[in-house]
Structure formats: C-alpha cells, structure tokens
C-alpha cells in the first residue's frame, strides 16, 4: 500500500511538471514598446497607460 501511494505521488508530480512545461505555438516575442501581444494585436505601453488612467 505504501509503495503504491509513493508511486502515485511520483506519477502525479511528473504529470504536473510535464503539463507546466507546455509551450505555445506562437512566437512569444513581445516588442520592447509593448506590454502584451494578444492574438495578432500588440498592446503598447501607451495604450495600457491610457486605459489605466480611465479606470
């Protein structure tokens, strides 16, 4: 029983680690003047700051 529990914990830890290592299909590069890229749209720092001021 103890061996089975240890094995289950090990398998769960490996599965969680593997799931956390998943990559993205996109390039993942955010331009230096931007804060994010969502789909094809780049959110610039100026746009972001403007939205924060409105909030």
Q: How many CB atoms lie within 10 A of CB 53?
A: 7
Q: Round to whole Å and give the CA distance between 42 and 10.
A: 41
Name the pTM for this structure. Answer: 0.47
Q: Round to whole Å and give the CA distance between 53 and 23.
A: 34
**Residue ranges making up the domain that contains 14:** 1-21+30-53
Read off φ and ψ for residue 35, nearest 5 degrees: -105, -20
pLDDT, position 25: 60
How many domains is the chain partitioned into structurally? 1
pLDDT in tens, 3-21: 888 878 888 888 877 776 6
Q: Round to whole Å and give the CA distance between 35 and 42.
A: 8
């Amino acid at each position: 029983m103890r061996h089975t529990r240890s094995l289950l914990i090990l398998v769960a830890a490996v599965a969680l680690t593997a799931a956390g290592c998943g990559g993205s299909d996109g390039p993942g590069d955010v331009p230096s003047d931007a804060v994010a890229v969502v789909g094809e749209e780049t959110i610039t720092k100026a746009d972001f700051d403007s939205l924060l001021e409105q909030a």
